[in-house]
Amino acid sequence: MGQVELFMVAIGLSMDAFAVSLCKGLNMRKLNYKHALIIAVLFGGFQAAMPLLGWLLGRQFEHYITSFDHWIAFFLLAFIGGNMLVEAFKGRPDPSEYNEQLNIKELLMLAVATSIDALAIGITFAFLQVMILPAITIIGFTTFMLSFAGVALGNTFGMKYKSKAEIVGGSVLIVIAVKILIEHLNIIS
């Protein structure tokens, strides 16, 4: 697998993380570069670590992992998306009470959920004899950059359309969850 193919795989794998990062940026009153960096590092790190883990597991565990990876991703993304929708319809606290702290537990769940497919890619890399260190470096860096950009882009539009954006963000996570489930159940290709 060449550099161009690896880069295309990296972009494909990072799209879920980009969408989630966009949603996170929508929820920031002002762009917080530290938070954007934390989000990008977590998503990029998990997108790099999961193919490595998949590659290490190799061929012998493929049927065990691929039989339930889509369910994990589905439940995590649907749960978080559902919570976003509940928050959007419940209303927001007074801006003076607004807590702009990152929920690291939620971010870790999102990082895992958006990188489950990368685990399966890592198993594929083992079969294709792909050099794993350059591959995970490209995947991790691409996801890092797109996640950081997603937070910034989301923040640009966030305050103007806060409630609507949260509805869209939660809906996007649920759609991604359903898409993952449908693809893995081979309902559509």
pLDDT band at 65 (very low <50, low <70, confident <90, very high): low
Q: Is residue 28 part of a domain?
A: yes
Residue range 148-189, pLDDT digits in tens: 999 998 888 765 565 666 677 678 778 877 887 787 787 765
189 in a structural domain? no
Res 121: pLDDT: 83
Model pTM score? 0.71
Quick: pLDDT tens for 78-128. Answer: 777 787 678 777 765 444 434 467 889 989 999 998 888 888 788 878 877
Better-scored residue on pLDDT, 26 or 73 = 26
Distance CA 118, CA 14 (A): 9
13 in Cβ contact with 145 (< 8 Å): no
Q: 3 near 138, Cβ under 8 Å? A: yes
Q: Flag whether 78 is in a domain.
A: yes
What would the mean pLDDT of 72-76 be, rounded to a whole number? 72
DSSP 101: -
Count of domains for the chain: 1
Q: Which value, in Å, is the radius of gyration of the alpha carbons in the chain?
A: 17
Tell me the two tokens of residue 162. 């806060």
* Domain of residue 149, residue span: 3-184
Q: What angle do CA 144, 183, 26 make, to 5 degrees?
A: 40
In a domain, 164, yes or no: yes
Q: Which two tokens stand for residue 151?
A: 């937070």
* Rounded distance between C-alpha atoms, residue 92 and residue 29, angstroms: 12
Residue at 139 is within a domain: yes
Domain contains 175? yes
